């Protein structure tokens, strides 16, 4: 349907009516009167349609406008066309919204759309099942009024949404949830909550399994090691081939023993993220003891071990874990740095952080390996690591300890020139 507004035809039509009226008036000798009457009739006709239009716009429930001829017919047709276009667009929009909602309902996660002020705009059915948030009755409520967990409030406060937040479901204490927030559009936030209870349970089972197996292996290994040591130190000299065989057994059993010990430490660190065990730790004293032990144990390689420790820099943490992290970095530096190399240990304030650094002039680490060396069982050079008795677990232990202490690990290394392992801790002054 297309209408072209022609001013010429409208004026022609009006002039025709007025001319016919004037002619008729002239014939009966009342030109002016007839002209006035016909103008009045035209005006009334227009007013009549104007009122019809107002009545339809404000009172009628019908979608189709009134019918008419002439210019008013065109106006009504135009309006009807606009309404149909509008309805078509609305239908398309509704279809899109329906598809988005179907998609969001099909998600295995609870999904909520929040405003930038974190008030609820929309939620799927899963959100009701695992979070107890109902749509549309909870619309307009702030998310932190409905999910009241200190860890979630802290997560929102920090505003770092790259990492997920873990909470227990507010309506079912057996469900462990992983929450993620993502800003989208100009002023909206997508909130996703995933049930990770199964994954957590499997992780727990894996940790328990490793811890139990390591624990069970410890006793037989100690027994074998004890007997081998007894045989090797017996008064009667062994034949050379037996001597060699028992020495190899002793080396391998010692390696297994260290591996089992590291596995036990790792599962202990993984299992006990106990905030209550945190206390003020005299780090200078702890590091000094480790440096002394390292110097004493390092007679063979004759490294130059130096330390620069800030005496009054204490931090809050779990002392056994902190010790474990520092020991691993120091013993790695000693293990991988060739004889007569140097190892420098530093404990100093750096800005608003406390910096623990172990720097050596050993072989360094290639850039492509730097990101992987904290992975469990990752060893750059397996044969060299075997020589040093490495298990590939030391830096995983460090990583877990740092996670418990909100600390960060930085690795600076030049291949062929040496490495520096730095830990940045949050500072708490001795008071």
Cα distance between residue 183 and residue 42, in whole Å: 61
290: contact with ligand ADP by CB under 6 A = no
Out of 146, 392, 403, 426, point to the residue binding ligand ADP (CB under 6 A): 392
419: contact with ligand ADP by CB under 6 A = yes
| 419 token code pair | 């490495």
Of 215, 181, 176, nearest in space to 113 by CA: 181
373: contact with ligand ADP by CB under 6 A = yes
166, burial (CB in 10 Å: exposed 0-12, middle 13-18, buried 19+): middle
385: contact with ligand ADP by CB under 6 A = yes
Out of 360, 402, 409, 423, point to the residue binding ligand ADP (CB under 6 A): 360
Element (H, E) at 155: helix 150-158
If phi > 0 it is left, if psi is from -120 to 50 it is alpha, else beta; for residue 43 that is: alpha
260: contact with ligand ADP by CB under 6 A = no
Shortest separation between residue 317's beta carbon and ligand ADP, angstroms: 20
390: contact with ligand ADP by CB under 6 A = yes
Cα distance between residue 183 and residue 181, in whole Å: 7
Cα distance between residue 365 and residue 98, in whole Å: 54
From the list 103-111, 203-211, 299-307, 389-397, the region that binds ligand ADP by CB under 6 A is 389-397
395: contact with ligand ADP by CB under 6 A = yes
Which x/- pattern over 136-165 shows residues binding ligand ADP (rule: CB under 6 A)? ------------------------------
269: contact with ligand ADP by CB under 6 A = no
Shortest separation between residue 386's beta carbon and ligand ADP, angstroms: 9
Strand-pairing partners, residue 194, are: 178
Out of 269, 283, 333, 402, point to the residue binding ligand ADP (CB under 6 A): 333
Out of 365, 407, 409, 423, point to the residue binding ligand ADP (CB under 6 A): 365
CB 315 within 8 A of CB 425: yes
Out of 65, 317, 341, 363, point to the residue binding ligand ADP (CB under 6 A): 363
Nearer to ligand ADP by C-beta: 133 or 265? Answer: 265
CB 315 within 8 A of CB 427: yes
Nearer to ligand ADP by C-beta: 283 or 422? Answer: 422
How many positions of this chain bind ligand ADP (CB under 6 A)?
22
Reduced to 3 states (helix: H, G, I; strand: E, B; else coil), residue 273 is: coil
Out of 124, 169, 361, 391, point to the residue binding ligand ADP (CB under 6 A): 391
Element (H, E) at 325: helix 319-336
362: contact with ligand ADP by CB under 6 A = yes
Q: Which residues of 264-299 are buried (b: 16+ CB within 10 A; e: fewer)?
A: bbbbbbbeeeeeeebeebebbebbbebbeebbeebe
CB 306 within 8 A of CB 326: no
Nearer to ligand ADP by C-beta: 253 or 365? Answer: 365
CA 232 to chain centre: 55
Q: Which residues bind ligand ADP (CB under 6 A)?
A: 328, 332-333, 336, 360, 362-363, 365, 373, 378-381, 385, 390-396, 419
């Amino acid at each position: 349907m297309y209408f072209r507004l022609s001013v010429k035809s409208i004026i022609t039509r009006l002039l025709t009516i007025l001319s016919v009226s004037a002619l008729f008036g002239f014939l009966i000798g009342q030109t002016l009167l007839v002209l006035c009457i016909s103008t009045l009739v035209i005006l009334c006709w227009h007013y009549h349609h104007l009122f019809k239009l107002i009545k339809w716009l404000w009172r009628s429930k019908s979608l189709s406008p009134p019918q008419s001829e002439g210019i008013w017919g065109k106006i009504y047709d135009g309006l009807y066309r606009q309404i149909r276009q509008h309805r078509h667009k609305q239908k398309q929009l509704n279809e899109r919204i329906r598809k988005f909602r179907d998609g969001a309902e099909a998600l295995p996660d609870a999904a909520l759309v929040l405003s930038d002020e974190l008030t609820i705009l929309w939620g799927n059915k899963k959100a009701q099942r695992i979070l107890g948030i109902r749509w549309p009755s909870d619309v307009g409520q702030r998310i932190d009024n409905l999910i009241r967990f200190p860890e979630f409030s802290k997560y929102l406060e920090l505003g770092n949404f790259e990492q997920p937040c873990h909470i227990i479901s507010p309506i079912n204490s057996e469900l462990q949830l992983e929450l993620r927030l993502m800003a989208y559009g100009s002023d909206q936030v997508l909130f996703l909550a995933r049930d990770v209870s199964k994954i957590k349970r499997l992780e727990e089972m894996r940790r328990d399994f490793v811890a139990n197996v390591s624990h069970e292996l410890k006793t037989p290994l100690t027994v074998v090691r004890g007997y081998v040591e007894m045989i090797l130190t017996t008064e009667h000299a062994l034949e050379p081939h037996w001597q060699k065989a028992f020495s190899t057994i002793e080396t391998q059993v010692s390696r297994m023993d260290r591996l089992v010990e590291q596995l036990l430490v790792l599962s202990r660190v993984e299992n006990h993220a106990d905030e209550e065990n945190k206390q003020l730790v005299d780090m200078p004293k702890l590091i000094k003891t480790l440096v002394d032990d390292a110097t004493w144990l390092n007679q063979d390689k004759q490294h130059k071990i130096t330390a620069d420790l800030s005496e009054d820099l204490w931090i809050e943490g779990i002392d056994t874990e902190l010790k474990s992290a520092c020991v691993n970095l120091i013993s790695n530096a000693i293990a991988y740095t060739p004889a007569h190399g140097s190892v420098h240990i530093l404990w100093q304030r750096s800005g608003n952080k406390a910096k623990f650094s172990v720097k050596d002039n050993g072989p360094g680490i290639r850039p492509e390996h730097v990101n992987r060396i904290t992975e469990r069982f990752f060893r750059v050079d397996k044969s060299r690591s075997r020589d040093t008795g490495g298990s590939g677990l030391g830096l995983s232990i460090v990583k877990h300890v740092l996670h418990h202490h909100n600390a960060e690990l930085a690795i600076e290394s030049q291949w062929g020139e040496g490495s520096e392992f730095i830990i940045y801790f949050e500072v708490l002054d001795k008071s």
